[in-house]
Chains A and B, each alone.
Chain A
Amino acid sequence: MSYVRRLPVYLLLDCSGSMSGEPIESVRQGIKMLVNELKGDPQALETACLSVITFASVAQQTSPLTELMLFKEPKLEASGATSLGGALKVLRECIDKEVRKTTENQKGDWKPLVFILTDGMHTDDDEFDRQTADIKSLKVANIIAVGAGPYVEQSTLKRITDNVLLMNTASAGDLSKFFAWVSGSIKMSSKSLDAKPGGAIELPPPPQGFTIVP
């Protein structure tokens, strides 16, 4: 019997048409690298579970929440629109279903860590409005939204979370830095203890060339 609590990690990845070519290939490589990196860290390997939700014309969970040792990389293809609102809906359903709550009889999981990567504007306004109406106040997860390239609107991402990061391009170099940073953040979260329950999460400094949106 193990009494180890899990750290659920959700990656919400933009797979719209604009990501096709080099960007989506970099994302594939990035996930591979991320999983390898985390498997090299005993605390992360012990506690972190990973899920991938992709969004294009539709949003769907492509990898269910799985411990790292058993994680299989999803097949990613880029085409279509950008249903970020739909992705948030899928995220909430998955958290409801997959993340264990602390009850009288079971040790719950930590608050999930969610990384959103997008390179453009969402195309599903209604759903996006519905989802962002209460996503901040519910605090179901610690969400970090990262925008890549010139078509991202900061204020939109700010409606999802206060933690918004921008990178200049969706180039291979920047995406690889992004995944390295995600890996660092997960490692850090699996080691440090939340001294003030409910306080802000601590993340490593963002890579060079990334800006934190205040």
Chain B
Amino acid sequence: MAKKNQHIEKAILMNDTEIEYVLTDNPPRGGMKHTYFTPDRKFAIQFFNKEEDAENPQMHSRLENIVGLYNPTLAEEYGGAMGNTKETAAYFANLFCWPVALIKYPEFGVVCPTYPPNFFFGKHAVKSGVNLDMAGKDKKSRWFTSRAISKCLADDECGNFQTMLRLSISLARAVRRLHTAGLSHSDLSSNNVLIDPKTGTCVVIDIDSLVVPGVFPPEVAGTKGYIAPEVLETMDLPFDDPGRKLPCATTDLFALPVLLYEYLLKRHPLDGPKIYTTTSTEDDEYMQYGPMATFIENPHDTSNRPDDLQVTIHDLGPYLEKMFLQAFVEGMHDPEKRPTAAQWEKALVKTWDLLQPCPNSNCKAKWFVLHDVRNPVCPHCGTRLRADDVIHVRLKKPMRGRKGQWQQTGEINLYDNMPLFKWHFLANVYPDEKMQDRTMQAYISHQGSEWYLVNNALEGMLSPKGNLVPIGQAVWLRNGEMFPTSNQQDALLMEVVKG
């Protein structure tokens, strides 16, 4: 409902439909655009700050492509990206705040959905006694990744290690989706990714600076701390100089791991004690993020390593450790060596399977990556697990054309009440946007020193002896046992390893 005295204006979209918006005196203003809202606040109506941007044909062409041909949040049958189904479109509509339409009158502009309500802080966002009013502010990643600020937030706002890992997977998947289509975000930063650690969700915003194949790239400055070193180093060269490095997929592949590192470890990978030059703070910072950028956990060069590192990339498990080294040591000044978004997604998903709840009820992280079963200690609080509480299974799939031979596809740590899904039982099923069936197939029950796999919904589940296990019945998991988990054709083999 429009309030009294509200000044309602009408805008006309490219397809000639009208949309109303509320004209305000001081609309929120970003680097490129300013924003009004529809009376129901479901959509943001954005116009450009500069006339030259609004009238730039390259800008029009880029945005037309973004709203249509390259739109992963719209099914192909409705004019969205090729091969996009309604289901995958719905999945990605949750990960992006993607422009839905372009405006032609009163001037060129963009219509975007507003962010879902869980990406705004509520009334009790800060600890009591903290002099900050957060209510209604959007949840830019920065609020959670800065130690100084996140200290002020109420504990339940900050989620835990598991929810941070969950939203990290979503972000890697979102960037993978862009890159698969040949798009790059070009300004990924803690301002352009909103996160809700409470629910473990994220949404990528400011989609309109995307680099679209074949269309002149936007001139974005990027955000401090997320600009790839090679972009910063060549920023002084003219825009069309062949030596000038512009934002592209490989620069996204610098910004993405910076964000992931911040989400999982609550610090920036380049912010260490090293002083690069004493000529001025500005010169020092330029070196730090540009030509001399040194990863604080670089094993070969410890000059930038803080002396109070408690949780390190090693504690994130083997998959992520390797990836961070590849991104920030080999790939720091060699963009081609940076891992792809798909590799990040895979490594994060594999790491998810290594999660273990911390038995210490006061542990703020609540979860940790159990990567060394012989030394099961939570790196966040130092609590050690009892040997009886440690068990993992190796998942193996049949090798094509070699009957009786199996290839390991994954390794999972088990814990009491852990849910298991289709991808834990069937080969060639992945927990990504294409997997719509997310019903719990089975769960783990830990009683005393024994472990059981309880069938919840899995058709044809088999016991180690090969007997059918009906729904509601359980299988006893004993050390060393190896068995096909069901009589389905693509069934995975499970090998139990205790303690």
Contact = CB atoms under 8 A, between A and B. Distances in A.
Interface of A: 1-5, 36, 39-40, 42-43, 45-46, 69, 101-111, 180, 184, 188, 191-198, 204-205
A69 B281 contact: no
A177 to B, nearest CB: 9
B284 A108 contact: yes
B140 A42 contact: yes
A104 B303 CA distance: 13
B333 to A, nearest CB: 17
Nearest to B308: A1
B133 A192 contact: no
Interface string B217-228: 000011111010
Contacts of A193: 222, 224-225, 227, 232, 285-286, 289
Contact of B146 (A5, A42, A108): A42
A184 B236 CA distance: 24
22 contacts: A2-B147, A3-B271, A4-B146, A4-B148, A39-B133, A42-B143, A42-B149, A46-B148, A69-B132, A102-B280, A107-B273, A107-B284, A184-B29, A191-B224, A193-B289, A194-B285, A196-B236, A197-B283, A197-B285, A197-B286, A198-B282, A198-B283
Interface of B: 26, 29, 31, 49, 130-134, 137, 140, 142-143, 146-149, 152, 190-191, 221-225, 227, 232, 235-236, 271-273, 275, 277-286, 289, 306-308
A110 B147 CA distance: 20
Identify whether the interface residues of A are mostly helix, strand, loop, or mixed.
Answer: loop
A103 B278 contact: yes
Contacts of A195: 221, 232, 235-236, 286
A111 B148 contact: no
A105 B275 contact: yes
B282 A110 contact: yes
Contacts of B148: 2, 4, 46
A65 to B, nearest CB: 15
A36 B152 CA distance: 16
B272 A3 contact: yes
Contact of A197 (B131, B221, B272, B282): B282
Contact of B275 (A1, A45, A103, A197): A103
A5 B285 contact: yes
A180 B26 contact: yes
A1 B152 CA distance: 17
A89 to B, nearest CB: 24
A107 B286 CA distance: 13
B282 A39 contact: no
Contacts of A102: 275, 277-281, 284
A46 B280 contact: no
Given A102-B284, A198-B280, 8 more contacts: A43-B142, A102-B281, A104-B278, A192-B223, A193-B285, A194-B285, A197-B283, A205-B49
A111 B282 contact: yes
A72 to B, nearest CB: 10
Nearest to A207: B26
Contact of B133 (A36, A191, A197): A36
Contacts of A184: 29
B281 A39 contact: no
A39 B126 CA distance: 13
Nearest to A193: B224
Contacts of A107: 273, 275, 281, 284
A197 B224 contact: no
Nearest to A100: B281
A191 B282 contact: no
B223 A191 contact: yes
Nearest to A176: B26
A2 to B, nearest CB: 6
Contacts of A40: 133-134, 137
Nearest to B272: A3
Interface-centre pick from B281, B284, B285 (highest chain A CB count, 10 A): B281
Contacts of B146: 4, 42, 46
Interface-centre pick from A5, A105, A191 (highest chain B CB count, 10 A): A191
Nearest to B226: A193
Contact of A109 (B49, B235, B281, B306): B281
Contact of A42 (B29, B49, B142, B284): B142
Contacts of B280: 102, 108, 111, 197-198
Interface-centre pick from A69, A102, A184 (highest chain B CB count, 10 A): A102
A5 B149 CA distance: 15
A46 B149 contact: yes
